[in-house]
Structure 1
Amino acid sequence: MQVRVFNYNTLERAHAFEAHSDYVRCIVVHPTQPYILTSSDDMLIKLWNWEKQWLCQQVFEGHTHYVMQIVINTKDNNTLASASLDRTVKVWQLGSPTPNFTLEGHEKGVNCVDYYHGGDKPYLISGADDRMVKIWDYQNKTCVQTLEGHAQNISAVCFHPELPIVLTGSEDGTVRIWHSGTYRLESSLNYGFERVWTIACMRGSNNVALGYDEGSIMVKVGREEPAVSMDVNGEKIVWARHSEIQQANLKAMPEGIEIKDGERLPVAVKDMGSCEIYPQTIAHNPNGRFVVVCGDGEYIIYTAMVLRNKAFGTAHEFVWAQDSSEYAIREGTSTVKVFKNFKEKKSFKPEFGAEGIFGGYLLGVRSVSGLALYDWDTLELVRRIEIQPKHVYWSESGELVALATDDSYFVLRYDAGAVLAAREQGGEAVTQDGIEEAFDVLGEVHETVRTGLWVGDCFIYTNSVNRINYYVGGEIVTVSHLDRTMYLLGYVAKDNRLYLGDKELNIVSYSLLLSVLEYQTAVMRGDFETADKVLPTVPTQYRTRVAHFLEKQGFKQQALAVSTDPEHRFELALQLGELQVATALAREAGHTQKWRQLAELATTKGELGLAQECLHQAQDFGGLLLLATSAGNADMVRKLGDSAETTGKNNIAFLSFLLLGELDKCLQILIDTDRLPEAAFFSRTYLPSQISRVVGLWRESLSKVSEKAGQSLADPKDYENLFPGLSEAFKTEQYLEPERR
């Protein structure tokens, strides 16, 4: 049977050759060499070299039935394993036509095989028609585990390249997910697409592709968010790479290196050791002395410096309290236990169950009914809130908290004094839903929070569209746009930098000035005394950003004083009616538009002298004419007429001279602009003594176009009978001449 090779850019067939005498079951491309391997129902495995015109370079013989699948060892590219319906798995070496060894144990034909990708276990997995999945140690050549549960033939098996899971697919239509360490069944997927035929995973991705009779589907397994945590000092970052714990020291970066926003930091990474469980989350306690690793239904608390085991136990979830010596765990969906100094202090079962827990200033328990917040010391209910958050973020002071749901987040203020007063008062002050005065809602923002943290009263977060934003007093400010999904690690105040990491554990940072955050916080609290003290520490290039913030909060006078951007200051000066400031800025800029805006404001405020200057600077002759005529200022109209005539603004010049009664100038403007018909009518009305001259000019001009039309024009002096009242017009002109002059 043939193998066909296609160019995947053009989809043209590049080559075809006869590979086997029966159906081809599997094709595998070698990861480093110019080889492909094929297996077939003719019981053979063949190796082809595409650099030698697809020459068959080797044949592997030994199976006694169809060879269903072959797979290359990811840790040794010279070895491969094959699964056959002869009930065996054989391991081969490139260059040798006979198998190294054979693994036997299945009762029926073997359909699929895969190698374990990690370096800690020499394992193979196989699936067969006996409905069994077997895990083999290929060094000891023994079966270490058999996975049972499928109801039909096993058609696909796969070790995930990064996550500690095994995926198995069967003709019963299900894909089962098993833990590769404990071999416990974690999940079973059935999408109703009939039989499963293939499973594919890719390193660096949590996506898994499944192929069925009725189509294919892509599913996401595990967490996208990496297991990583930064200590409170911002000096060290601890993360898990598979089961290995590593530490990055931010203080050990090369000297003199320029840190740019968004660029990967060249951090020094140190191996701390291997973890006994597969880490799903890592978190430092508030003082940074301890770090907890949680996963596989267990937790281990280590010392942060040398990874010394301090405490461990079983838990589905683990959270630290604000007090560094206190933490809580969730067991199942009903029990929450609180520990102090690594000893169990209290255990309780929340009334509505526990689907999730949250640490911080209060102990949060999420249930089907919402979020319940408890006092860490007494475990008394403080408040029940009818939302189901995914994350709860407390500020360092414990006054503010952000509750992040799937599509929005709420910012609340916690009043510890009101809680204490209600406890002392008792009675109706404490209801079954807790203390009503405990929290005030400050704002709701319709944005999805991926990760977040507080710096003072500013809530910094990354959202679903890959932006870094911060919320302060109802205002949202964008720090930067990200080119991929990033997760907040922490903020280092002395460096004025925000640190983030991606799922590949690349660390980047962005500049975020603490002085700007402190200033904005003080403004929101109405504490302008503190704000004025902080302002000198805000660099000049950030003053305009602060000014925009002040403007949005309605503090325009302060914004004008703070802003360094001339454009912004001019706009603020106009809004505040600060004519002197606006005039100085307009003189500096020299922009026509600014002078026009200022003229409008000056006119509104009755500053006609300033308005005249502004209109003159803006060359706004129409505005000047309106102003001059409104004020009855003949000298201003005369100057305007002369200026307009000089600059070619003929309409304004004509109207100015007409208002002044300077008819000769008006007539000359009409003649100079070749408006001879209008000039003729104008002279007939106002200057009959000029009519013959103008008609002569008109006739001369028109004759150039049409001789006949030009000759048809009648001169009123020659044809007085055609122009009644002309003689009276002459007399009137002579009579008014002295007055006009």
Structure 2
Amino acid sequence: MHTSSLSVPSGIANVPPVILSTSSPESASHRVPEQVFEGHESQVKCVCFHPDEKKLVSGSDDGTLRIWDRTTGSVEVLSGHTDWVCDVDVSRDGELVVSGSDDTTVRMWNRELGETVHVFEGHENYVISVQFSADSRRVVSGSGDETARVWSVETGKLAFEPIKCHGRVYCVSYSPSGDRIASGADSVQIWNAETGSGLLSIRNSKVVSLAWTADGTYIIGGGRGKVTIWNSHNGQQLRTWQAHNNVATIKLSLSPSGSHLATRGWNDKTAFVFDVSTGERVATLQHDEDVYGIVYSPSGQFIGTGCDDGRVYLWE
């Protein structure tokens, strides 16, 4: 379950528009993983929690999804994609899993049976981002073919015509209320979730990862090593800070409380946790190889990461 619909701390309004984090990797708390899951045969691109947090779902360049039970250590393998698995999400009731792949398809799985329910076909390039709507009746996907597409979970068909975006789509995300969809490409764009009509386009806003605040007022984007917060209604930039020293793309996940932001950079063995209100780096998650997937659990107690070494890490 993507934890992307979250709140901004009340004190954040007093933070300056540009935050220069004064913390260093040395000053941030260095964490040790609680659990490590092994089994993938290649890098782990994406990680997602089951709503009850007892299971994690991961997708890998080996073309498989794996469902890890962190209480028993058991693992289920979902096979069907013919190329890298780029993103995964779990429905709110935990019964369905959706995945996007370099093979250009979106697959929906019955988690308990381990069987494919639908194969959504139509994208003409890799599918790098997928997410269930809050009511789990629809799935949105974003692709290198420069479109976002909304699919009916019931029929397996498009809900409406593909949404044409500004360049390759790196991320898509439903708003908490489900009435809007944000896409991240060469710019951040916001769309009517029922019709696909455009509502807002934010200039100079190339991102590869997005998260909404709980009330839908703000949207947080990660790209080019920076974190930026915008007003989702008028596109006004609220603040920005450099999350990773190298100019690189970043993946991010916001805690359920909205107080902390977990990030990872490109070609970076370290993930960081920031205090959203100050931009201060408060925790360091060190890996032996490059980090790819990163996500907060629904309660905020855990962070899951996927790594180039084929492992999934659980951090508290």
Q: What is the TM-score normalised by the length of structure 1? A: 0.27
**2:229 corresponds to which residue?**
218
Matched, 1:77 2:97: no
1:62, 1:98 within 8 Å by CA — same for their partners in 2? no
Matched, 1:129 2:161: no
Task: State the one-letter code of the partner of 2:40.
Answer: H
Alignment of 1:364-383 (within 5 A): none
Alignment equivalent of 2:54, drawn from 29, 34, 37: 34
Taking a change above 3 Å as real, the CA distance of residues 216 and 15 of structure 1, as seen in their structure-2 partners, is same
Task: State the one-letter code of the partner of 1:129.
Answer: G
**1:96 corresponds to which residue?**
113
Taking a change above 3 Å as real, the CA distance of residues 9 and 51 of structure 1, as seen in their structure-2 partners, is farther
Matched, 1:13 2:33: yes
2:176, 2:216 within 8 Å by CA — same for their partners in 1? no
1:118, 1:161 within 8 Å by CA — same for their partners in 2? no
CA distance in 2, matches of 1:118, 1:59: 26
Kindly provide the CA deviation profile for residues 660-696 of structure 1, in whole angstroms up to 9, marking residues without a partner as x. xxxxxxxxxxxxxxxxxxxxxxxxxxxxxxxxxxxxx
Task: State the one-letter code of the partner of 1:177.
Answer: I
Matched, 1:199 2:214: no
Matched, 1:185 2:198: yes
Alignment equivalent of 1:46, drawn from 57, 63, 66: 66
2:42, 2:62 within 8 Å by CA — same for their partners in 1? yes
Matched, 1:146 2:157: no
Q: CA deviation at 1:179?
A: 1.4
1:112, 1:157 within 8 Å by CA — same for their partners in 2? yes
Q: What is the TM-score normalised by the length of structure 2? A: 0.60
2:60, 2:84 within 8 Å by CA — same for their partners in 1? yes
Taking a change above 3 Å as real, the CA distance of residues 129 and 10 of structure 1, as seen in their structure-2 partners, is closer
Taking a change above 3 Å as real, the CA distance of residues 118 and 95 of structure 1, as seen in their structure-2 partners, is closer
Q: CA deviation at 1:204?
A: 4.0
2:160, 2:195 within 8 Å by CA — same for their partners in 1? no
Alignment equivalent of 2:177, drawn from 162, 183, 187: 162
Q: CA deviation at 1:138?
A: 1.7
Alignment of 1:352-367 (within 5 A): none
Taking a change above 3 Å as real, the CA distance of residues 102 and 26 of structure 1, as seen in their structure-2 partners, is same
1:163, 1:222 within 8 Å by CA — same for their partners in 2? no
2:37, 2:68 within 8 Å by CA — same for their partners in 1? no
Task: State the one-letter code of the partner of 1:113.
Answer: V
Which secondary structure state, in structure 2, belongs to the residue aligned with residue 146 of structure 1?
coil
Alignment equivalent of 1:87, drawn from 91, 95, 104: 104
Q: CA deviation at 1:89?
A: 0.7
Task: State the one-letter code of the partner of 2:69.
Answer: N
1:90, 1:99 within 8 Å by CA — same for their partners in 2? yes
1:73, 1:115 within 8 Å by CA — same for their partners in 2? yes
CA distance in 2, matches of 1:181, 1:148: 12
RMSD over aligned CA atoms reads 2.2
Q: CA deviation at 1:28?
A: 0.6
Kindly provide the CA deviation profile for residues 317-362 of structure 1, in whole angstroms up to 9, marking residues without a partner as x. xxxxxxxxxxxxxxxxxxxxxxxxxxxxxxxxxxxxxxxxxxxxxx
Which one has a larger percent strand, Structure 1 or Structure 2?
Answer: 2
Unaligned runs of 5+ in 1: 1-7, 224-741
CA distance in 1, matches of 2:226, 2:78: 34
Taking a change above 3 Å as real, the CA distance of residues 111 and 146 of structure 1, as seen in their structure-2 partners, is farther
Q: CA deviation at 1:202?
A: 4.2
CA distance in 2, matches of 1:186, 1:205: 14
2:56, 2:67 within 8 Å by CA — same for their partners in 1? yes
Q: CA deviation at 1:154?
A: 0.9
CA distance in 1, matches of 2:178, 2:105: 28
Q: Which of structures 1 and 2 has the larger relative contact order (alpha carbons within 8 angstroms, sep 6+)?
A: 2
Kindly provide the CA deviation profile for residues 719-740 of structure 1, in whole angstroms up to 9, marking residues without a partner as x. xxxxxxxxxxxxxxxxxxxxxx
CA distance in 1, matches of 2:190, 2:71: 40
Matched, 1:58 2:69: no
CA distance in 1, matches of 2:209, 2:228: 11
Which one has a larger percent helix, Structure 1 or Structure 2?
Answer: 1
1:132, 1:146 within 8 Å by CA — same for their partners in 2? no
Q: CA deviation at 1:163?
A: 5.5
Task: State the one-letter code of the partner of 1:84.
Answer: S
**1:501 corresponds to which residue?**
none
In the comparison of the two structures, how many residue pairs are matched?
Answer: 207
Q: CA deviation at 1:69?
A: 0.4
Pair member with larger Rg: 1
Taking a change above 3 Å as real, the CA distance of residues 164 and 64 of structure 1, as seen in their structure-2 partners, is same
CA distance in 1, matches of 2:169, 2:180: 17
Taking a change above 3 Å as real, the CA distance of residues 92 and 129 of structure 1, as seen in their structure-2 partners, is same
CA distance in 2, matches of 1:35, 1:148: 33
2:134, 2:178 within 8 Å by CA — same for their partners in 1? no
Taking a change above 3 Å as real, the CA distance of residues 163 and 62 of structure 1, as seen in their structure-2 partners, is closer
Task: State the one-letter code of the partner of 2:45.
Answer: R
Alignment of 1:264-663 (within 5 A): none
CA distance in 2, matches of 1:32, 1:89: 24
**1:23 corresponds to which residue?**
43
Taking a change above 3 Å as real, the CA distance of residues 215 and 33 of structure 1, as seen in their structure-2 partners, is closer
CA distance in 2, matches of 1:151, 1:183: 14
Kindly provide the CA deviation profile for residues 514-541 of structure 1, in whole angstroms up to 9, marking residues without a partner as x. xxxxxxxxxxxxxxxxxxxxxxxxxxxx
Q: CA deviation at 1:78?
A: 1.4
Which secondary structure state, in structure 2, belongs to the residue aligned with residue 13 of structure 1?
coil
